Amino acid sequence: MPKISDPPSPKASAGEKWNARSPEVLTKGDPPSPKASDFALRASSDASAGGKRNTWSPEVLTKGEARPRTSPGLLGWVLFEWARNPYVLVITIYIYATYFTRDIVGDPVRGQALWAAIQGYAGIGVAVLAPFLGAIADAGGRRKPWVAVFAVLLAMSTAALWFGEPAGRGIGLVGVAMAVAFSNIAYDGSLVFHAAMLPWLAPAKRLGRWSGAGYALGNVAGIVLLVLVLTLFYLPQHPLLGLDRAAHETERISGPLCALWFAAFAWPFFVFTPDRPPNPVPVPQMMRQGFASVMGTLRRVRQHRNTAIFLASRMIYNDGQNVMLAFGGVYAAGVFHWGATESAVYGIILSVFAALGGWLGGNLADRIGTKRALRLSLAVMIIAALFSLGFAPDRMFFFVGYPAGKPVIASPMFRTAPELLYIATVMIVAVALVATYAGSRAMMARLAPEAHVTEFFGLYALSGEATAFVAPLAVSLATTMSRSQQWGMAVIVAFLAAGWLGLSFVKDSS
């Protein structure tokens, strides 16, 4: 397959040359950078007489021009997660997911099984599409148009959730399932191309921090949106916009609200974040080259053995993580019989700690190495997840009986000891879970071959989704057979432990 090279930079003047592996302008006589730190721009010698290289931009700064302290492009990249990531918290965990199992399906156990099945089948779609789309984008150069396509699909499918009415009315179970599946595919599709831009935008030594900053800010945005739902629709006697509680419009509004939030805050990414230069290749040729590139990568996987081991390990533990994330709210609401308000407050509490996990995980990866940080966060998650399954209204620590409903504090919610201990344990899970997400993305950014970075982020998505149907379907099967939400969720610990063991064979390049 012929190599597609970047076009000459318009910034490179006569006597200069453009390094195709990095958007740096090299002065005449400069040797090409051997790695270019996975597209990360670095300070180097003067780019012109008396001038200096811009750490963040392919432009050459003139003499006396100040280097920017932060990059508008990187800030736009992070703000995209502020716009997009509340979908996970509001729709897939705390608001719409609990409404789906409690009121659309009407049975928490059957609802958990159905929600798991929807997540699993959507994961198959992402697993099939992501690597090929990533390879096509690598051939064409640009990523932002692909992000835009998935962003529109995400906004439209999320807004359609308004029409999912109680007891399967409105668009019905099938309609809700299709809207949720398309939303998940769009979310993960945008993640592939958005994440693949990070190695090109951020300095190599700060990949973990910027990755963690994105996850942290996304969780803060989720907190803000959950608080808005709580204060505008759940708590007032007369909800904003005159929404009807009996028709569960206060829960259904979460879909259009997420779509509007996304539209309102995603624009800085499209305006300020620079994209790679386009390659003048016809679309059919891009598609053929993308397909051939994926097939070649899969055939040559032994040449990227370290990356392959990481992706295989992540495939396993990420499956468990996604189930824990997607079913945390459903599980808690079903076991402790929480209503919509309790679920929203629970989501706000955990999201605060999740934001802390994003910041902590990114910084920890840069300080002690990505592999060590990943294994540490996974180990903490395994222990805390096991502990959390030992609490129910009538017991604590698996075997200690408790008088169901007996309050230990005077509070409008979360009054019993099992509830409080469960929440305290899951706070630790939230920190470790988001720290693992941030560390995993930073590890992929370090390991991905620079010439195929989006393709490898497509494989990264594949590793997250290729078996994504396995854990949800395992939860669905275990829940159905045992008629117990606790036993249904217990299967995820095996996925986390197997992934943790697999990471021991990965060589850390940080």
pLDDT tens digit sequence for 74-115: 889 989 999 998 998 899 888 898 889 888 988 877 887 788
Is 15 a domain residue? Answer: no
Show Cβ contacts of residue 8 under 8 Å, excluding neighbours closer than 6 positions. 18
For residues 327 and 313, the model is more confident at 313
What average pLDDT does range 389-415 have in this prediction?
A: 89
Range of the domain at 330: 72-503
Of the pLDDT bands very low, low, confident and very high (cuts 50, 70, 90), residue 468 is low
Is 155 a domain residue? Answer: yes
Which residue's entry shows tokens 């999320």?
158
Is 164 a domain residue? Answer: yes
Please, is 190 exposed, middle or buried when counting C-beta atoms within 10 Å of its C-beta (0-12, 13-18, 19+)? buried
pLDDT tens-place string over residues 184-228: 889 988 887 888 788 778 777 777 778 878 888 888 898 899 899
pLDDT for residue 469? 67
Asked if residue 405 lies in contact with residue 416, where contact means CB atoms within 8 angstroms, the answer is yes
According to the 3-state scheme, what is the secondary structure of 192-205?
HHHHHCHHHHCCHH
Of the pLDDT bands very low, low, confident and very high (cuts 50, 70, 90), residue 60 is very low
pLDDT for residue 382? 93
Q: Please count the other Cβ atoms lying within 10 Å of the Cβ belonging to residue 351.
A: 28
pLDDT exceeds 80 at position 387: yes
Is 257 a domain residue? Answer: yes
Is 43 a domain residue? Answer: no
Is 293 a domain residue? Answer: yes
Say whether pTM exceeds 0.75.
no
Q: Please state whether 66 falls in left (phi above 0), alpha (psi between -120 and 50) or beta.
A: beta
Lowest mean pLDDT among 152-156, 309-313, 357-361, 426-430: 357-361
Of the candidates 77, 262, 268, the one whose C-alpha atom is nearest the C-alpha of residue 153 is 262
Lowest mean pLDDT among 150-159, 254-263, 363-372: 363-372
Q: What is the mean pLDDT of the chain?
A: 77
**The total number of structural domains that make up the chain:** 1
Q: Which long-range contacts (CB under 8 A, 24 or more apart) does 171-180 make?
A: 173/104, 173/105, 173/114, 176/100, 176/104, 177/114, 177/118, 179/255, 180/91, 180/92, 180/118, 180/122
Is 161 a domain residue? Answer: yes
What average pLDDT does range 349-359 have in this prediction?
A: 83
Please report, for the domain that includes residue 412, its CATH number: 1.20.1250.20
CA distance 188 to 322: 12
CA distance 356 to 344: 19
Work out the percent of the chain whose per-residue pLDDT is above 90: 21
- Could you tell me the end-to-end alpha-carbon distance of the chain, in angstroms, rounded to an integer? 31
Is 48 a domain residue? Answer: no
